Amino acid sequence: MSVAIEITDQIAVVTIENPPVNAAGLEVRQGLWEAVDTLDADPQVTAVVLACAGRTFVAGADIREFGKPPVEPHLPDVLNKIEGAQKPWVAAIHGTALGGGLELAMSCHGRVALSSAKMGLPEVNLGLIPGAGGTVRLPRLVPPALALTLAAGGKPIAADQALKAGLVDEVVAEGLVDAARTRAKTQALTPTLTRDIQGTLDEGFDKTETGILRKARGQKSPKAASKAIRRGATMEAPEALAAERAAFTALKQDPQSAALRHIFFAERAVGRSARTKVVTPRALAQIGVIGGGTMGAGIAAACLLAGLKVTMVERDAEAAQAGHDRVAGILGNSLKRGLISEDKHTRLMGNFLSADRYDALSEADLVIEAVFEDMGVKREVFAKLDEVTRPDAVLASNTSYLDVNEIAASVRDPSRVLGLHFFSPAHIMKLLEIVVPERVADDVLATGIALGKQLKKISVLAGVCDGFIANRIMSAYRRECEYMLEDGALPHQIDAAMEEFGFPMGIYRMQDLAGLDIAWAMRKRQAATRDPAQRYVEIADKLCEAGRFGQKAGRGWYIYEDGKPVRDTEVEDLIVAESARKGISRQSFDAAQIMERILGCMQREGRTILDEGIAASPEDIDVVMINAFGFPRWHGGPMFMAQAT
């Protein structure tokens, strides 16, 4: 770690080097504090450039320090010292200037950014608000509504947007430090805090705030950030700074921030295996995808968007064309939404081939099977792949529930088979369960992990069992909810309790959206081997027998009137009748009782999964539940909640 100073032509360049993201840890703060004194005292120095080594400008305060007592110099004090320096400081921004990093840049007197740079205030994603003057300096550089979007929305903006808004003074395509040196020579010594507010808290501000707070659901920090920006844009700077610090300190103690910091690090800790530390992954340039249905198309699109070449193989020419069109639709949508440029779209489609012959896979490095959820079909597909693919090609199944060991047994060399369980839609959902069969080779496992990284997924390793981690826990709490229906609750009460807890959608709305027939088919498949001693609720089967397959059928757990779910007395009468048929006297449930039973069930199943070695750590389970089913991040996950109580 270092804060180095190099002086040429009376301009000092202060360079922070604190890999991997130049977090503003204690040594960085000390180095900057001393640099201000040193350079103020040096008569040879007329101005200062603040730059960072490595891949990015300061990406924030060092989050790892938050659990410990704060040590001086505190970041706000360092930033005030820079702002009060006797010589102008110009920040040279590249990479991602985030949180305390952007606050640091705003305490400088000028800012130059590389055109590829991004900047933002993501503290709300950690349950915090900016704590080093960001909510007071920002409205003095950009219009308050944009300041609100940055501080309460938590998403970064690009350099050109920052330039337009006044957050940076100049954007260059290259020669960042030289441009900053040139600007420093004439930079005015105007402290940001003395600048005028860049606009009023007008109707646009209120509309922006309403939109952001609606999305916040149960999370506290967006509202706190909005209040802080209001103060920053209306109060005298000293009072606003003091209020910001108080609000930041309070949030840092709040359980929501502890939960969000837990999941921040958990998502970066998962997807690693001691077995793959010293092995080299196999090649990953040519991907094969078998099946161009919902998942196959999504997986193919995800691989194409990551720059990989993809050959899709379907049953026949017609299905191959249908699969091709699904992929073209996904990439066309990305183009329409401006996520990819025209020429990138052309290039990606040029990397894609859809065929109805398996020998099109003779050069594939890794093939992902996404055909019907039927062991017979999958075994046939793998037997064909065994014939046509290179012996070193990795073979993966996207199965949701089936035994990957059994699938691996369909090929001569099972060590090249693993599970890669994507979630729908596969090109959007970040979670990837990497299912580890008994005989998989270390470098095959490493190849699966490498693919997850290349697709920018959050990968979690799972052992082989029915449903791996996500669907196994989902099956458990789906059962628990059905027990509650028989015991006295109604679908809308359970959904309301889950949504009040912070889930984007209750379990019955979710089932209606996904379709009840998939789970029905699975229950019928499992019927023969179901433990007769286990309580079984027939309500969902009865809905399916009545053709109530969910929103696509216009009715499921709810009736759908112009797309909106409405309670259905027919369903509620059916539920009451089932309780009576089972001799259960129905009881009432409040939201707390409902969530207690759901969380308790998730935690019990999670502990069993850990005991069986299906998941490596409680963090793996929290990461899965948050990224597969929208478990509210600000609660940290079911296992985090269990250890917090």
What is d(CA 436, CA 511) in angstroms, rounded to the nearest whole number? 28
- The interface partner of residue 398, options being ligand NAD, ligand T1G, none and the CB cut-off 5 to 8 Å by kind, is ligand NAD
- The interface partner of residue 399, options being ligand T1G, ligand NAD, none and the CB cut-off 5 to 8 Å by kind, is ligand NAD
Distances (CA, A) of 484 to 395, 500, 584, 602: 41, 18, 11, 15
Active site residue 236: no
- The interface partner of residue 381, options being ligand T1G, ligand NAD, none and the CB cut-off 5 to 8 Å by kind, is ligand NAD
Q: How far is the CB of 60 from ligand T1G (least distance, A)?
A: 2
Work out whether 99 is an interface residue with ligand T1G (CB under 6 A). yes
Q: From the list 293, 463, 488, 515, which residue makes contact with ligand NAD (rule: CB under 6 A)?
A: 293
208 membership: H or E segment, kind and range? helix 203-216
What is d(CA 224, CA 311) in angstroms, rounded to the nearest whole number? 49
Site string for ligand T1G, 126-165 (x = CB under 6 A): x-x-xxx-x-------------------------------
**Please, are residues 62 and 24 in contact by the beta-carbon 8 Å criterion?**
yes
Q: From the list 102, 290, 484, 543, which residue makes contact with ligand NAD (rule: CB under 6 A)?
A: 290
Q: From the list 40, 42, 170, 373, which residue makes contact with ligand NAD (rule: CB under 6 A)?
A: 373
Work out whether 28 is an interface residue with ligand T1G (CB under 6 A). no
Minimum CB distance to ligand T1G smaller for 68 or for 564: 68
Minimum CB distance to ligand NAD smaller for 160 or for 387: 387
The letter for the amino acid at 497 is A
Work out whether 377 is an interface residue with ligand NAD (CB under 6 A). yes
Q: From the list 116, 280, 346, 424, which residue makes contact with ligand NAD (rule: CB under 6 A)?
A: 424
Pairing state between β 2-8 and 11-17: antiparallel
Q: Which stretch binds ligand T1G (CB under 6 A): 121-129, 227-235, 294-302, 632-640?
A: 121-129
Q: Which stretch binds ligand T1G (CB under 6 A): 61-69, 162-170, 199-207, 316-324?
A: 61-69
**Please, are residues 135 and 154 in contact by the beta-carbon 8 Å criterion?**
no
Work out whether 314 is an interface residue with ligand NAD (CB under 6 A). yes
What is d(CA 436, CA 434) in angstroms, rounded to the nearest whole number? 6
Q: From the list 28, 50, 63, 601, which residue makes contact with ligand T1G (rule: CB under 6 A)?
A: 63
Minimum CB distance to ligand NAD smaller for 121 or for 361: 361
Catalytic residue chosen out of the listed positions 6, 27, 72, 123: 123
Pairing state between β 89-93 and 110-114: parallel
What ranges in 368-527 are assigned the alpha helix state H? 375-388, 404-408, 442-454, 470-487, 491-501, 507-514, 517-527
**Please, are residues 485 and 506 in contact by the beta-carbon 8 Å criterion?**
no
- Calculate the CA dihedral of residues 259, 134, 76, 47 and round it to 10 degrees: 140
Q: How far is the CB of 273 from ligand T1G (least distance, A)?
A: 15
Q: How far is the CB of 398 from ligand NAD (least distance, A)?
A: 4
Active site residue 380: no
Q: From the list 14, 50, 92, 123, which residue makes contact with ligand T1G (rule: CB under 6 A)?
A: 123
Minimum CB distance to ligand NAD smaller for 501 or for 629: 629
Work out whether 370 is an interface residue with ligand NAD (CB under 6 A). yes
- The interface partner of residue 208, options being ligand T1G, ligand NAD, none and the CB cut-off 5 to 8 Å by kind, is none
417 membership: H or E segment, kind and range? strand 417-422
Work out whether 291 is an interface residue with ligand NAD (CB under 6 A). yes
- Could you tell me which residues come within 8 angstroms of residue 68 by beta carbon, excluding any fewer than 6 positions away? none
Catalytic residue chosen out of the listed positions 6, 83, 103, 578: 103
**Please, are residues 3 and 28 in contact by the beta-carbon 8 Å criterion?**
yes
Query: For 491, how many CA atoms within 13 A lie in the half-sphere containing its CB?
Result: 25
Q: How far is the CB of 62 from ligand T1G (least distance, A)?
A: 5
Q: From the list 39, 98, 260, 516, which residue makes contact with ligand T1G (rule: CB under 6 A)?
A: 98
What is d(CA 61, CA 296) in angstroms, rounded to the nearest whole number? 41
Structure tokens at 47: 């101005």
Q: How far is the CB of 477 from ligand NAD (least distance, A)?
A: 18
Residue 83 CB neighbour total at 10 angstroms: 21
Q: Which stretch binds ligand T1G (CB under 6 A): 124-132, 365-373, 375-383, 503-511?
A: 124-132
What is d(CA 420, CA 452) in angstroms, rounded to the nearest whole number? 9
What is d(CA 411, CA 392) in angstroms, rounded to the nearest whole number? 12
Work out whether 315 is an interface residue with ligand NAD (CB under 6 A). yes
Binding-site size, ligand T1G (CB under 6 A): 25
Residue 529 CB neighbour total at 10 angstroms: 7
For ligand NAD, the nearest residue by Cβ is 293
- Could you tell me which residues come within 8 angstroms of residue 638 by beta carbon, excluding any fewer than 6 positions away? 473, 599, 602, 603, 606, 621, 622, 625, 631
Q: From the list 128, 241, 251, 295, which residue makes contact with ligand NAD (rule: CB under 6 A)?
A: 295
Phi, psi of 287 (to 5 degrees): -105, 140
Q: How far is the CB of 414 from ligand T1G (least distance, A)?
A: 32
DSSP 8-state secondary structure symbol assigned to residue 86: S
Q: How far is the CB of 467 from ligand NAD (least distance, A)?
A: 11
Nearest CA to 424 among 325, 298, 517? 298
Work out whether 619 is an interface residue with ligand T1G (CB under 6 A). no
What is d(CA 386, CA 641) in angstroms, rounded to the nearest whole number? 45
SS3 287: strand
Structure tokens at 379: 């075994």
- The interface partner of residue 293, options being ligand NAD, ligand T1G, none and the CB cut-off 5 to 8 Å by kind, is ligand NAD
Distances (CA, A) of 639 to 220, 269, 314, 457: 21, 16, 41, 22
Work out whether 122 is an interface residue with ligand T1G (CB under 6 A). yes
Q: How far is the CB of 252 from ligand T1G (least distance, A)?
A: 8
Catalytic residues: 103, 123
What residues line the site for ligand T1G (CB under 6 A)?
Answer: 20-21, 23, 59-64, 75, 96, 98-100, 103, 122-123, 126, 128, 130-132, 134, 265, 268
What residues line the site for ligand NAD (CB under 6 A)?
Answer: 290-296, 313-315, 319, 370-373, 377, 381, 398-400, 422-424
